[in-house]
């Protein structure tokens, strides 16, 4: 992802290809993939096929989501459903798989496994929209990359899809002009001005809260001890209540 996005930093740290080089980053990714299989192979034999199936499905979806992300950079407009499909694959599937595998390894009930998956999917969507929000409204020194990087790269974020859906007349014409001409001076600032005018930031915060509540509701349906449920709930909240 960092190589494809040509990102120099991630969460305030230099990316692997920037700190070393692209070849090292590719090899590091391959090595970590092999380590993942090494650890998965240590699962109990009775749950291993289910864990592998979950892992493979998530890996396929993450690749699909990344491809959609790149494809959408070349499109002027995408629908909210298009965006939701993309983040459900790119981010939702990863966290959903992580939580589902925990349930499978604990050999909990199929219903609880499904609730864990649903919680992870909702959390993944909230996490990605939070990333979109922080790219515009976060502190660059804390978030770890320049403000408006997604705008410069024509990324179809939740903020942009909201603005395109709600802008009319002169606002819509101006937004389309800015999206079509990357060379416009102060382009990022002008796009952010339109976001503020249309209430995109507040709408994003409300959508994040919606998905977080959905994730917490799924956890409420788990049949586990209260103290364990609390740990999970606090973990979910910590992934959203962040500034980087």
pLDDT tens for each residue of 87-112 = 999 999 999 999 999 999 999 999 99
Q: Is the pLDDT assigned to residue 244 strictly greater than 70?
A: no
Give the pLDDT score at 183. 86
DSSP letters spanning 135-196: HHHS-HHHHSS-TTHHHHTT---HHHHHHHHH--HHHHHHHHHHHH-TTSTTHHHHHHHHHH
* Whole-prediction pTM: 0.91
CB 179 within 8 A of CB 153: no
CB 155 within 8 A of CB 73: yes
84-96 burial, b at 16+ Cβ within 10 Å, e below that, comes to bbbbbbbbbbbbb
Among the residue ranges 49-58, 101-110, 223-232, the one predicted with the least confidence is: 223-232
Angle CA(31)–CA(47)–CA(54) in degrees, nearest 5? 55
pLDDT, tens digit (0-9, with 9 covering 90-100), for 167-178: 999 999 999 999
Confidence of residue 122 (pLDDT cuts 50, 70, 90): very high
Confidence of residue 81 (pLDDT cuts 50, 70, 90): very high
Q: Is the pLDDT assigned to residue 229 strictly greater than 90?
A: no
What residue ranges do the domains of the chain occupy? 1-42, 43-240
In this structure, which CATH number among 2.40.40.20, 1.10.600.10, 1.10.10.10, 2.60.40.1120 belongs to the domain 43-240?
1.10.600.10
Confidence of residue 193 (pLDDT cuts 50, 70, 90): very high
CB 99 within 8 A of CB 120: yes
State the average pLDDT for the chain: 92
Give the pLDDT score at 132. 95
Average pLDDT over residues 64-78: 93
pLDDT, tens digit (0-9, with 9 covering 90-100), for 152-165: 988 999 999 999 99
């Amino acid at each position: 992802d960092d190589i494809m996005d040509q990102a120099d930093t991630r969460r305030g740290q230099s990316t692997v290809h920037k700190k070393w080089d692209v070849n090292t980053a590719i090899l590091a990714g391959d090595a970590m993939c092999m380590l993942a299989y090494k650890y998965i192979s240590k699962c109990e034999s009775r749950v291993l096929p289910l864990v592998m199936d979950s892992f493979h499905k998530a890996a396929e979806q993450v690749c699909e989501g990344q491809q959609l992300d790149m494809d959408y950079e070349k499109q002027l407009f995408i629908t909210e459903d298009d965006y939701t499909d993309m983040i459900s694959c790119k981010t939702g599937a990863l966290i959903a798989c992580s939580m589902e595998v925990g349930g499978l390894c604990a050999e909990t009930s199929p219903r609880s496994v499904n609730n864990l998956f649903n919680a992870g999917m909702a959390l993944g969507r909230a996490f990605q929209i939070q990333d979109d929000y922080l790219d515009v409204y976060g502190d660059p020194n804390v978030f770890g990359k320049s403000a408006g990087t997604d705008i410069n790269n024509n990324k179809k974020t939740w903020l942009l899809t909201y603005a395109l859906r709600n802008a009319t007349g002169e606002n819509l014409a101006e937004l389309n002009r800015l999206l079509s001409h990357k060379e416009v001076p102060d382009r990022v600032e002008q796009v952010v001005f339109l976001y503020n005018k249309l209430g995109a930031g507040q709408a994003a915060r409300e959508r994040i809260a919606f998905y977080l509540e959905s994730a917490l509701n799924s956890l409420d349906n788990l049949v586990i001890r209260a103290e364990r449920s609390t740990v999970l709930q606090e973990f979910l909240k910590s992934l959203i209540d962040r500034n980087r």
